[in-house]
Amino acid sequence: MTIDYGRFAERLTAPWPQRRQLVEEVQREFGYEAVVGTEKKADVLLEVSDVPEALAAWTASPVNSFFAHRGLYETSLQWPPEQAGEHSVFMTEYEGCCFWGYRTADAPLPDPAVWIGYPDDEDGPWEPLSRSVTEWLVQMAVVRVLPEYAFNGGVRTFGTDEDVQGRAVRAALPELGLLPWPETGNTFHFFGARDAIVVWMSEHDAWECGDLEIYGRTEDAVREAAGLLGVALDRDEVREPRRGTLTSRVPRAPHLGTLSG
């Protein structure tokens, strides 16, 4: 069955009960093979109360890709969530570069917005990142899981002018419906195609050209999406999925005492 990710926003904005398993659906669509986590963390996590329903459902899932393959995420789960000013932090980047949390006052909501914060506010105050926990989980799946489980075509895009790059991608493809994702000096922008998700990485450094990655359910989907962008990929420019080759790594969560909300 063909899936049009140009209409993915409809799935993302469906009522909460309908999107309860959205991240698991997306991962399966791109070839993720569900594996029950080797550590029975879900039993412990269920004992924590006063967390949003969407977050509790994700941690309790027996096919949670974070528990099965932590090395994919390069993050550490902060459980129970730790208070940081007006926010509750539930996940940290493995080197402590940033933290993800929700407003503590929003905990009674089933699927509240997720914010990104930085240690000691060195890189600015807390900023809104995702309109819901579900959206944050899908963002994380696209940037962490799909690169290993999808067919992958990498493209150096449209010269060195970011404005030209952005206009070209937006003219060719509809946006996926996810907000931009900041990562290691880049900002990831998400677009949808038939059986493919396209990620354009704009650089904060104006002298560098952004990259574009195409994650496809099939090799043909990668090539078709590239064609919409006016790019023809050679045979060796589409990488097959790297399944079953992951090395699990469980990083230690940094202390959050200096984080200000």
Residue 248 pLDDT exceeds 60: no
pLDDT band at 25 (very low <50, low <70, confident <90, very high): very high
pLDDT for the residue 36: 58
pLDDT band at 210 (very low <50, low <70, confident <90, very high): low
Give, rounded to a whole angstrom, the gap between the first and last alpha carbons of the chain.
45
DSSP string, 47-109: T--SS-HHHHHHHH-TT-HHHH-HHHH-EEEEEEEEEETTEEEEEEETTSS-EEEEEGGGTTS
Residue 39 pLDDT exceeds 50: no
pLDDT for the residue 234: 86
Contacts of 230 (CB under 8 A, 6+ apart): 168, 172
pLDDT band at 64 (very low <50, low <70, confident <90, very high): confident
Sign of CA dihedral 74, 215, 33, 141: positive
The most confident of the ranges 98-102, 124-128, 249-253 is 98-102
Mean model confidence pLDDT for the chain: 82
Q: What is the mean pLDDT of residues 203-211?
A: 52
pLDDT band at 165 (very low <50, low <70, confident <90, very high): confident
Q: What is the mean pLDDT of residues 154-171?
A: 73
| Residue 13 to residue 138: CA distance in whole angstroms | 12
**Alpha-carbon separation of residue 10 from 4, 20, 138, 142, 147 (angstroms):** 11, 14, 14, 17, 24
Q: What is the mean pLDDT of residues 99-108?
A: 96
Residue 179 pLDDT exceeds 70: yes
By C-alpha distance, which of 143, 198, 140 is closest to 168?
198
pLDDT band at 33 (very low <50, low <70, confident <90, very high): confident
Query: 145, 31 in Cβ contact below 8 A?
Result: no
Question: Among 129-133, 173-177, 190-194, 255-259, where is mean pLDDT lowest?
Answer: 255-259
By C-alpha distance, which of 211, 255, 206, 241 is closest to 96?
255
